[in-house]
Structure 1
Amino acid sequence: MIVAAVLFVYAVLLCTLAPRLLRGARWAERAPRLGIAVWQALGASALTAAVLTGLALTVPTVRVSADLAQLLEACVMALTAQYASAGGAAAGAAGAVLALAVLGRTAWCAGTTLLRIRRQRSEHREVLALVGRPDATRGVVVLDHEEPVAYCLPGRHRRTVITTGALDTLDDDQLEAVLAHEHAHQAERHDAVLTWARTLARAFPRVPLFRTAEAEIARLVEMRADDVAAARSGRLTTAAALLAVAGGRTPAAALAAGGSTAAQRVRRLIEPHRPLGSLRIAAGSLTAAAVLALPLLVVGGPAAAATQLNYCPDGTPAAQVTTMR
């Protein structure tokens, strides 16, 4: 019962305190890739803790088949003692329902989200095949439209799309920056990162952590793509390119250089560049790894303790097992 209680409290604290402490953190803007990893780790850790809370409650209700060896039965008895719950069978049933509900809800929302995105991208690719003009030199699809827009359709049949309005507005260096931005989205699979964040936010819309993580990850993947473009074309050139395409409307399933966060990102590019130091990046990476591992360590501790008890030595004689009963 203690294990389940610790995991439950940990999940609640993570889901409520982490968004308040980390929303809009300046260090994440200085190292967007680390920020993305931390938000992903927080979400995965909270989800894992919720599932393991339910599983920890079910352990005391596990029964061993009569035809198994007495040694195995004794070991299971030791595990049951370590995870014992005052609620008995009722707590075990509640734990099983909790674990299955969290996993089932996550799987359902992941499936429906993926299907919706796949359908949207497929429909838009069909439109591009009809009205777009492939530009083999730049590796893009050109749309005749006066509004300056640039975006990419990620996935297996990826496309980078740019309008004639953008080609007329951007100079060569700015165009290179915009294309580098879109290629960064595709190369680093930002679509998969965003899909996972959206899945959790849709599955558990009332959980502050998942809502905040979706917004923060969406912001940080754009900053990460900006950094890739700036490393190639310069920060001021990238900022000017973002301003040029900031107001463009893009398909729902696309990743665009503009968007609602463009003004904030332009200010970030104009300001002096102060990347996060290597020591702080290492510390942040270790913290993310610890957050991911903590629920597993908590739930695995009693099992490890049970293996050290005399209930489970190698070659336990049958008489000893009988005596334990």
Structure 2
Amino acid sequence: MIAALSLLAYALMLALAGPRLLRASSWADRAPRLAIAAWQALTVTVLASLALAGAALTFPTVTVSRDLAGLLQACIMAIQEQYASPGGAAAGATGAVLALTILGRTLWCVGRGLAGMALERARHGRILDIVGRDNKQHGIVVLDSDEATVYCLPGRRRRTVVTTGALQALDEAQLAAVLAHEHAHLSERHDLILGFSRALAAAFPGIALFRLAAAETARLIELRADDAAAARSGRLTVAGALLAVASPGKTPLPSIALAAGGAGAAARVRRLIPPHNPLGRARTAAGSLAVAALLTLPVLLLGGPAAAAAGHNLCPGISTSASSPAA
């Protein structure tokens, strides 16, 4: 019971305080890749803590034994003892419902989201096959449109789409910059990261943490792609390219497309104008350790009591002779 309550308290604390800490300063804009990992770790840890809390209520923690037969007998006796009382049975049933609901809802929404992304990719890919023209010089698909739009279509047949309006608005250096931006999206599989965040937001719409995580992830993957493009083409070149494709077009893009311009482009341009100010190795290492600690602590909260009791007598009803060959 202590482990379950500790996990529930940990999940509640993270859900309330985690977003405030991650959005409290501008460090995320200076290290978007680390910030993406932090948001992903935060959401996964909250879900894992709730699911493990349910499992801890369903199956009571027993002490660790060197004897497998004794451990199994201890597990059976502990479960029988818990479910013998109405309160223990109610707690176990509540824990089972909690764990199964979280696990089932998460798997269902993530699976449905991935399937929907695959269908939309295939549908839009067929449209590109009909109306698009391959440009082998730049490795892009060209669409005839007056709107200056650049976006990528992830998946097995990953493609970068550039409209004729964008080709007219961009010079060669700016075109190389936006292509590097889109290639960063494709190579780092930002579509899967964003799809996972959106699936959790759809699975648990009543929890503000997941809505914030999806919105921040969408913003941070654009910052990360901007940084990858700036490392190749220069920050001012990327800023100029974003200005050229910043206006959202009248034709809506598919939800799976990751576009260089669109909403938030103005803020991204302002971020690129000052000189680059990275977070620094020490703070990046500290942040990485914090992300690892987020994921590790739920396991320690659940397994700590059992590990601390290793070698102790398993149950009052089991004597030391229970582990003898005769037993």
Identity of aligned residues (%): 57
For the pair 1:288 / 2:287, whether they are aligned, the reply is no
Q: Which amino acid is 2:2 matched to?
A: I
Residue 71 of structure 1 corresponds to which residue in structure 2?
A: 70
Counterpart for residue 279 of structure 2: 276
Q: Offset at 1:2?
A: 1.1
Distance 2:245 2:3 in 1: 52
DSSP 3-state at the match of 1:273: coil
Any conservation in 2 of the 1:144–1:164 contact (CA below 8 Å)?
Answer: yes
**d(CA) in 2 for partners of 1:83 and 1:40?**
35
Q: Could you list the per-position Cα deviations for residues 152-190 of structure 1 after superposition, in whole angstroms to 9, with x for gaps in the alignment?
A: 011111110000000011000000000000000000110
Output one character per residue of 1:237-275: Cα deviation in whole Å (capped at 9) or x when no partner: 000000111113432210010121111110000122111
Residue type at the aligned position of 1:302: P
Q: Secondary structure at the match of 2:237?
A: helix
Partner in structure 1 of residue 255 of structure 2: 252
Deviations 1:194-248 (A, max 9, x none): 0111111110111121111111111110000000100111000000000111113
Provide closer, same or farther for how the CA distance between residues 319 and 122 of structure 1 changes in structure 2, counting only shifts above 3 A: closer
Could you tell me how far apart the structure 1 residues matched to 2:28 and 2:325 are?
56
C-alpha RMSD over aligned residues: 2.7
Residue 301 (structure 1) aligns with: 304
Give the deviation of 1:122 after TM superposition: 1.1
Residue 20 of structure 1 is matched in structure 2 by 20
Is the alpha carbon distance of 1:179 and 1:319 closer, same or farther for their aligned partners in structure 2, counting shifts above 3 Å? closer
The aligned residue for residue 175 of structure 1 is 175
1:132 maps to which residue? 132
How far, CA to CA, are the matches of 1:182 and 1:260 in structure 2?
Answer: 16
CA distance in 1, matches of 2:19, 2:146: 40
Counterpart secondary structure, 2:255: coil
Specify every segment of 5 or more residues in structure 1 that has no aligned partner in the other structure, as ranges. 63-67
Aligned length, in residue pairs: 316
CA deviation after TM superposition for structure 1 residue 43, in Å: 0.6
- Between the aligned partners of 2:291 and 2:254, the Cα distance in structure 1 is 33
The verdict on how the C-alpha distance between 1:147 and 1:9 changes in structure 2, with shifts beyond 3 A counting, is same
CA distance in 1, matches of 2:56, 2:247: 51
Q: For 2:68 and 2:37, how far apart are their aligned partners in 1?
A: 45
**Distance in 1, Cα, partners of 2:131 & 2:241:** 25
CA contact (8 A) 2:246 2:265 kept: yes
Written as runs of structure 1 = structure 2, the 5 A alignment for 1:92-131 is: 92-131=92-131
Whether 1:317 and 2:321 are equivalent positions in the alignment is yes
CA 1:140–1:121: 2 relative to 1, 3 Å: same
When normalised by structure 1's length, the TM-score is 0.90
Which segment drifts farther, 83-92 or 4-13? Answer: 83-92
Paired with 2:17 and 2:139, the residues of 1 have a C-alpha distance of 45
1:142 is matched with: 142
- Aligned 1:206-285 pairs, distance under 5 A: 206-249=206-249, 250-285=253-288
Cα offset for 1:112? 1.5
CA separation of 1:121/1:24 partners in 2, compared to 1, >3 Å: closer, same or farther? farther
* Aligned residue number for residue 65 of structure 1: none
1:159 is the counterpart of 2:162: no
Preserved CA contact (<8 Å) 1:54 1:98: yes
TM-score (normalizing by structure 2): 0.90
Q: Which region of structure 1 is more displaced relative to structure 2, 22-31 or 151-160? A: 22-31
Q: State the AA in 2 paired with 1:197.
A: S
Instruction: Give the 3 Å change call, closer, same or farther, for CA 271–83 of structure 1 in structure 2.
Output: farther
Residue 69 to residue 242, structure 1, CA distance change in 2 (3 Å): closer
Q: CA deviation at 1:33?
A: 0.4
SS at match of 2:60: helix
**Distance change (3 Å), C-alpha of 1:243 and 1:269:** same
> 1:60 aligns to what SS in structure 2?
coil
Inter-CA distance 61–21: structure 2 relative to 1 (3 Å threshold): closer
Q: Partners of 1:82 and 1:46 in 2: how far apart?
A: 30
**Alpha-carbon distance in structure 2 between the residues aligned to 1:161 and 1:174:** 15
Q: Which amino acid aligns with 2:38?
A: V
Aligned mates of 1:139, 1:82 — CA distance in 2: 67
